[in-house]
Structure 1
Amino acid sequence: MNKNQISNVFKSFFVILTLLYSGYSMAQENYTEENTTNFWDKVQFGGGLGLGIGSGYTDISVMPSAIYNVNQIVAVGVGLQFGYLASKNYYNSYVYGGSLITLVNPIPEIQLSAELEQVRVDTRYESNINRPAFSDNYWNTALYLGAGYRTGNVTIGGRFDVLFNDERSLYGSAFMPFVRVYF
């Protein structure tokens, strides 16, 4: 299978999975007094923080997010992303944008996820002996499909960017592990 075929398989899997679980979740909904809770009672906040500092290297990221628990199985939400990455005497890069998040818990211990991320990448390269200074600005779109083990408010797992492009993607690999926490 080539890369496009694999990408199409993942996209089809995601669409089918979303339709199945959203239909299942609606079919299981019972309208009782328990379901008349306040909107904010079903909202959870979380996200991530990142800090990497080395010899001439800095990586700082802040990624807050919020989800709304539609029911015990499905949650939907939004996230923001801000980042700064620098390599001394080479480049400075700013990343900012947002994402749409869907979480599906077919059983309490397993969490499946889909996250559509759109970020702006603004990189300024410094001049050196071999090249003049220049900048590179572009939008990067990623669609992450993931799975993880969930215990309480914490999920540990991995996700795969089905839109990964070696030449333009923000990260060096389509696969990345994650730790997700919501309070």
Structure 2
Amino acid sequence: MKKNGFLRLIKTVLIIVLWFAWDTSFSQEVNQEKQKSVFWEKVQFGGGLGLGFGTGYTDVSVAPTAIYNFNEYFALGTGLQYSYFRQKGFFKSNNYGGSVIGLFNPIPEAQLSVELEQLRVNLTYENIDLTENFWNTALFLGAGYRMENVTIGARYNVLFDKDKNVYGEAFMPFVRVFF
């Protein structure tokens, strides 16, 4: 009889340990799901799409961006960029790269930004059979008026060099949209 009582005790302890382990692992799974959902609630996606055509001119660009909102004042994100430009008989260019962006909202209507962008530029001049390949680095400081998920403003490239730059000007307007 003592052997049956001992086996019953082991079965009971084993059931209690398994139940406790299952319950603990299930509660951790629920907490991990809550942590994941809190993280993704603070992530916003946006970016830009561009498409332009004209007589002998083509301009296509895609620039997705994602930001993480640490709080109502600060956000940090990253983006990718690809663009294709062609002026028939003159040049064509493929540009691709990435960026890191920091956003500061001192008040809900104002947004200040810092963006570091690195682009690989592959430029071919068709009329003189010349190819240039170089990296273009830009550091943009910007300010804009913010209305919920949309910001309209301007940014200035403090590293702008008119002789070797993918952009025509250091000062550029922008529209940012995040969802």
Instruction: Structure 1: give runs of 5+ residues left out of the alignment.
Output: 1-34
**Structure of higher RCO (CA pairs closer than 8 Å, 6+ residues apart):** 1
Distance in 2 (CA, whole Å) between partners of 1:143 and 1:126 is 30
- 2-structure distance, mates of 1:88, 1:58: 8
| Structure in which a larger fraction of residues adopt helix | 2
1:4-62 Cα shifts (integer Å, max 9, x gaps): xxxxxxxxxxxxxxxxxxxxxxxxxxxxxxx9962111000000011111110111100
Instruction: State the percentage of identical aligned residues.
Output: 61
Match of 1:78 in 2: 78
- Which aligned pairs between 1:67-146 and structure 2 lie closer than 5 A? 67-127=67-127, 132-146=128-142
Name the aligned partner's letter for residue 164 of structure 1. Answer: F
Deviation at 1:162, TM superposition (A): 0.3
Question: 5+ residue gaps in structure 2?
Answer: 1-34
Q: Output the CA distance in 2 between the equivalents of 1:122 and 1:62.
A: 16
Partner Cα separation in structure 1 for residue 159 and residue 135 of structure 2: 13
Structure 2 residue 152 is matched with structure 1 residue 156: yes
Q: Which residue of 2 aligns with 1:180?
A: 176
RMSD of Structure 2 on Structure 1 (CA): 1.4
Q: TM-score, normalised by structure 1?
A: 0.77
> What is the rounded CA distance, in whole Å, between the counterparts of 2:155 and 2:133 in structure 1?
26
SS at structure 1 position matched to 2:41:
helix
Q: List 4+ stretches of structure 1 deviating above 3 A.
A: none
- Secondary structure, aligned partner of 1:107: coil
Q: Secondary structure at the match of 2:169?
A: coil
- Equivalent residue number for residue 9 of structure 1: none
Alpha-carbon distance change, 137 to 38 in structure 1, aligned in 2, over 3 angstroms: same
1:64 corresponds to which letter in structure 2? P
Equivalences, count: 145
* Displacement of 1:90: 1.2
